[in-house]
């Protein structure tokens, strides 16, 4: 049809396959809602031979993503390849430079090159849409880019990685091992091609970097994020958290402070019964604190083919509904050239409560030595308890759990350095920050 929106799709993995099904199965509904049909004209993927259960009759196959990106027979380039380098970067740039709108689910690419790509899109009057890049099916980009324009945001935070939340939930609910939970998340299509990006927190950091830019009008700065993943979280931590009235979640948090933006990704203890603690499985949640609207929180599926394809299709529909000559809104919510430099607040000045789990020598004076090191740093303890040792500890070893009142990261690090120097510690201390969000 002459007025159709012609779509080229690069990448036919979990999301690409779901997107093709969605655009084909709901073609009439989408055409009605957009006022014109969305037609897939070209696709490219690593392997042409792979059986995907797709019907691609009449769709041109491209071996080279760059050729699809610059193909005259499409209006939009959908990038579902992933990764911050080639071929995704070159293909997206080429698509924009050749006058095509772009829809991408690629948070790693946007975290690294988002400002440059936004500038190109703006200079050409094109849309660069990326709803699916952050929190899967949750429409948080639209909210940040459009709905909250009149607000000054003070904090944006949330559970931004479905794989990690799925792993932590099943470890707690079913006592499953970390490895088995990760394997299931991979089988369900939640995890990244390289799952270390999920479990080491990089994926959350990429998403937080994008949200931080939208929230504070600053350049995207993925390297300014303090980063810890969930690989050091053990069943002991999860059980101790529960006993103390907390649940462990991998959070991404960006807060405006007097000394800049404090951006961090790390496991955190959240109070049982709080809204964020109730977000289980692959579900994500994003909360925003802002001056005019107050606090809001959105939750929904954060990964998986259909949820992510839903967001990609929504982005395509926005493009289908726009008209040539219409001035499109800037990709990062404001003109890319007007973004402020990102000023990073140092992590050592972070203030909050802390959970600390130590394995120590089970002998007289150990508790007193630990308490002394805490007191030296003016850290006030809410509780200090010796827990019953689990099977794998030697008889002279004892697990100690401390919960502190609000203090600074600098003080905690100094106190733990002192405990280490006292020579009563086995292994590395576990330190998990306590958060109360929303």
Residues that bind ligand HSE (CB under 6 A): 136, 161-163, 190-192, 198, 203, 302-303
In angstroms, give the least distance from the CB of 266 to ligand HSE: 16
Residues 6+ away with beta carbon under 8 Å from 106? 79, 80, 81, 82, 83, 84, 88, 92, 130, 133
Angle between helix 14-25 and helix 305-321 axes, rounded to 10 deg: 50
d(CA 375, CA 352): 16
Q: Which is nearer to ligand HSE, 161 or 287 (CB)?
A: 161
Burial of 67 (0-12, 13-18, 19+ CB in 10 A): middle
Nearest by Cα to 121 from 334, 319, 330? 330
Tokens of 336: 């890319």
In angstroms, give the least distance from the CB of 108 to ligand HSE: 10
Catalytic one of 100, 207, 249, 256 = 207
Residues 6+ away with beta carbon under 8 Å from 272? 242, 245, 246, 247
In angstroms, give the least distance from the CB of 114 to ligand HSE: 15
In angstroms, give the least distance from the CB of 176 to ligand HSE: 17
Tokens of 191: 């995890």
Q: Which is nearer to ligand HSE, 163 or 430 (CB)?
A: 163
Q: Which is nearer to ligand HSE, 155 or 207 (CB)?
A: 207
DSSP for 81-111 reads: --SSSTTHHHHHHHHHHTT-EEEE--HHHHH
Tokens of 392: 């794998």
In angstroms, give the least distance from the CB of 248 to ligand HSE: 17
In angstroms, give the least distance from the CB of 191 to ligand HSE: 5
DSSP for 396-435 reads: TEEEEEEEE-SEEHHHHHHHHHHHHHTT-EEEEEEEEEE-
Establish whether 26 is a catalytic residue: no
DSSP for 104-173 reads: E--HHHHHHHHHHHHHHHHHHT--EE-GGGSSTT--HHHIIIIITTTPPEEEEEEE--HHHHHHHHHHHH
d(CA 419, CA 395): 21
Residues 6+ away with beta carbon under 8 Å from 100? 8, 69, 74, 75, 76, 77, 126
Contact in structure between 44 and 61 (CB atoms under 8 Å) = yes
Backbone angles phi, psi at 148, to 5 degrees: -100, 20
In angstroms, give the least distance from the CB of 189 to ligand HSE: 9
In angstroms, give the least distance from the CB of 65 to ligand HSE: 20
d(CA 436, CA 438): 7
Other CB atoms within a 10 A radius of the CB of residue 63 amount to 10
Residues tagged active-site: 207
């Amino acid at each position: 049809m002459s007025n159709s929106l012609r779509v080229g799709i690069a990448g036919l993995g979990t999301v690409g396959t779901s997107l093709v099904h969605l655009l084909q199965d709901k073609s009439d509904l989408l055409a009605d809602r957009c006022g014109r049909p969305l037609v897939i004209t070209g696709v490219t993927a690593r392997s042409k031979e792979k059986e995907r259960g797709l019907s691609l009759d009449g769709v041109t196959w491209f071996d080279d993503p760059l050729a699809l990106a610059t193909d005259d027979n499409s209006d939009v380039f959908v990038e579902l390849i992933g990764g911050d380098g080639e071929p995704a970067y070159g293909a997206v740039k080429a698509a924009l430079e050749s006058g095509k709108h772009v829809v991408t689910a690629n948070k790693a690419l946007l975290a690294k090159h988002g400002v440059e790509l936004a500038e190109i899109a703006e200079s050409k009057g094109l849309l660069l849409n990326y709803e699916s890049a952050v929190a899967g099916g949750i429409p948080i980009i639209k909210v940040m880019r459009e709905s909250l324009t009149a607000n000054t945001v003070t904090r944006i935070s949330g559970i931004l990685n479905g794989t990690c939340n799925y792993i932590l939930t099943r470890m707690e609910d079913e006592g499953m091992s970390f490895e088995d939970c990760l394997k299931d998340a991979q089988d369900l299509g939640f995890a990244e091609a390289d799952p270390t990006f999920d479990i080491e927190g990089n994926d959350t950091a990429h998403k937080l970097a994008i949200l931080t830019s939208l929230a504070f009008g600053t350049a995207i700065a993925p390297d300014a994020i303090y980063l810890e993943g969930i690989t050091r979280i053990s069943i002991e931590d999860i059980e101790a958290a529960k006993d103390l009235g907390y649940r462990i979640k991998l959070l991404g948090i960006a807060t405006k402070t007097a000394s800049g933006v404090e951006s961090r990704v790390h496991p955190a203890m959240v109070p049982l019964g709080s809204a964020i603690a109730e977000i289980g499985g692959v579900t994500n949640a994003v909360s925003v604190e802002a001056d005019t609207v107050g606090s809001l929180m959105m939750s929904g599926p954060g990964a998986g083919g259909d949820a992510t394809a839903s967001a990609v299709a929504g982005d395509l529909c926005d493009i289908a509904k726009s008209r040539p000559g219409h001035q499109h809104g800037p990709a990062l919510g404001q003109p890319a050239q007007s973004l402020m430099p990102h000023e990073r607040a140092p992590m050592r000045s972070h203030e909050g409560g802390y959970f600390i789990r130590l394995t120590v020598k089970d002998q007289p004076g150990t508790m007193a030595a630990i308490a002394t090191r805490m007191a030296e740093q003016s850290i006030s303890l809410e509780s200090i308890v010796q827990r019953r040792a689990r099977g794998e500890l030697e008889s002279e070893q004892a697990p100690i759990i401390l919960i502190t009142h609000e203090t600074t990261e600098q003080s905690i690090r100094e106190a733990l350095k002192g405990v280490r120097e006292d020579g009563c510690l086995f292994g590395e201390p576990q330190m998990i920050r306590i958060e109360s969000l929303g």
